[in-house]
Amino acid sequence: MNNIKRAVVLLSGGLDSATVLAIAKSQGYECFTMSFDYGQRHRAELDAASSLSHAMGAELHKLVTINLADFGGSALTDERIDVPVLPAEGIPVTYVPARNTVFLSLALAWSEVLSVSDIFIGVNAVDYSGYPDCRPDYIAAFEVMANLATRQCDEGGQLKIRAPLINMSKAEIITKGSELGVDYSKTVSCYQADQQGRACGVCDSCRLRRDGFVAAGVTDSTKYQT
């Protein structure tokens, strides 16, 4: 029983987090997946996350509702701010204030109840949108904080925040996921996917994803709206 490693895996339903789930499974973890209904406009990713979790053999999938749209401040949660079609200077308007901190905190709460030692997150600091909460020093600082925050750690447990994609290019991520058998047609990356999960093809996230498939030499199975 003690040899079983358990992990909470943050699963958005996108390409990156699906690859992370495959990596965690390949490393022998029992995986508990967690998604967030945070008021995002691209809600098709939530259906994708649930399907992926089941298809990829996770133990349990938890959908947590936390209305970050109530705070505003992001194109992803505020219909009045358009999702841009061109790469931005600096941090783009699709940045959601403190999103990864909120998600990791809730993963920390669940991980303590489950006696989990590892939290996996699909952040990436190479082919990404410049969000501050995707960088290695941020992840390292969260881990330090988390190891002071909980009863589990107070009693000698060590919590690891695993970000296996953090230094990989999008092409490397796709190559790795393909080797592990990830079905990318089931993933939704687009910031404004329609209800069927079809991608717009023009947002930052679509652009990074499409370029990644080309660079990896892998057929792009993404469903586009047009």
- In the complex, the residues that contact a second copy under the rule CB under 8 A are 62, 64-68, 70-73, 91, 95-102, 104-106, 108-110, 112-113, 132-133, 135, 137-138, 141-142, 144-146, 148-151, 153-154
Distance in angstroms (rounded) separating the CA atoms of residues 189 and 42: 9
Nearer to a second copy, 149 or 215 (CB): 149
Nearer to a second copy, 65 or 226 (CB): 65
Backbone angle region of 139, left / alpha / beta, with phi > 0 → left and psi within -120 to 50 → alpha: alpha
Nearer to a second copy, 67 or 185 (CB): 67
Selection from 127, 146, 93 nearest residue 14 by Cα: 127
Structure tokens at 185: 């047609």
Distance in angstroms (rounded) separating the CA atoms of residues 111 and 143: 13
Nearer to a second copy, 126 or 153 (CB): 153
Shortest spacing between CB 39 and a second copy, in angstroms: 12
**Residues found in the chain:** 226
All residues at 6 or more sequence positions from 78 whose CB lies less than 8 Å from its CB, including other chains:
69, 72
Shortest spacing between CB 216 and a second copy, in angstroms: 30
